[in-house]
């Protein structure tokens, strides 16, 4: 993992011992950040608590849902989101790649008959969560651009989201998120 190191940052990963795909979060070394363990069978996430001023904290849940995810795995993701909302462990910030291209985020509807997309929208609504990304974050060649990368919160503390160019050969944009915290 040394080839991924950035000076001044610690690497937190859900899959640190292998070279396979996983999630990496770069933690700025001057932040007070704790890696949280959460009992769930959904495996593609990293959960952190970030301490702020005046005893405020953000719970950061970075997640990935594969395009080939099955109904059982999707249910595990919904259970994770429901559990984090029920636990009320600070302001919840969930950036993630959901891979549901048929969700229209301006209307919170889907053109798909897939029950998982509808259940995802219902999970967010039931927990009074906000979703902030409104422009496509993934495009490749002649494919129709989609909003696949989301920024979900439990409170309205997002100031701005900038959609930046992809890193390397990625087909996903980089999201720069400004929080008022």
The yes-or-no verdict on residue 75 having pLDDT over 70 is yes
| pTM for this entry | 0.88
Nearest to 50 by CA among 38, 61, 64, 63: 61
Residue 104 placed within a domain: yes
Beta strands 45-51; 32-35: pairing state: antiparallel
Q: Which helix (H) or strand (E) holds 77?
A: helix 71-87
Bigger pLDDT: 95 or 144? 95
pLDDT of residue 21: 66
Residue 127 domain boundaries: 30-179
Indicate if the pLDDT at residue 16 is higher than 60.
Answer: no
Residue bearing the bigger pLDDT, 155 or 18: 155
Average pLDDT on 144-155 reads: 90
54 assigned to some structural domain: yes
Give the confidence band of 39 by pLDDT, cuts at 50, 70, 90. confident
14 falls within a domain: no
Assign residue 92 the CATH number of its domain: 3.60.10.10
Task: Examine the pLDDT at 18 and tell me if it is beyond 70.
Answer: no
The answer to the question of residue 25 being in a domain is: no
Higher pLDDT, 161 or 51: 161
Residue 48 to residue 33: CA distance in whole angstroms: 7
The CA distance from 123 to 50, in Å, is: 24
The answer to whether position 10 is within a domain reads no
Alpha helix (H) residue ranges in 35-162: 71-87, 115-126
Q: What six digits make up the tokens of 123?
A: 């999970």
Report d(CA 25, CA 12) in Å as an integer.
5
Query: Number of structural domains, the chain?
Result: 1
């Amino acid at each position: 993992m040394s080839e991924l190191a950035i000076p001044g940052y610690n690497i937190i990963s859900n899959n640190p011992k292998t070279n396979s795909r996983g999630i990496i979060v770069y933690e700025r070394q001057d932040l007070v950040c704790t890696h949280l363990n959460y009992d769930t069978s959904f495996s593609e996430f990293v959960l952190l608590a970030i301490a702020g001023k005046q005893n405020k904290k953000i719970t950061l849940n970075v997640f990935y849902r594969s395009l080939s995810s099955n109904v059982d795995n999707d249910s595990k993701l919904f259970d994770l989101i429901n559990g984090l909302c029920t636990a009320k462990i600070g302001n919840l910030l969930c950036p993630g790649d959901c891979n549901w291209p048929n969700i229209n985020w301006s209307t919170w509807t889907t053109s798909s008959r897939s029950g998982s997309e509808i259940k995802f929208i219902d999970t967010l609504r039931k927990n009074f969560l906000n979703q902030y990304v409104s422009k496509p974050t993934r495009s490749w060649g002649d494919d129709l651009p989609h909003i696949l990368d989301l920024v979900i919160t439990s409170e309205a503390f997002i100031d701005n989201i900038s959609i930046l160019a992809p890193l390397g050969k990625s087909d996903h944009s980089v999201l720069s998120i400004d929080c008022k915290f």
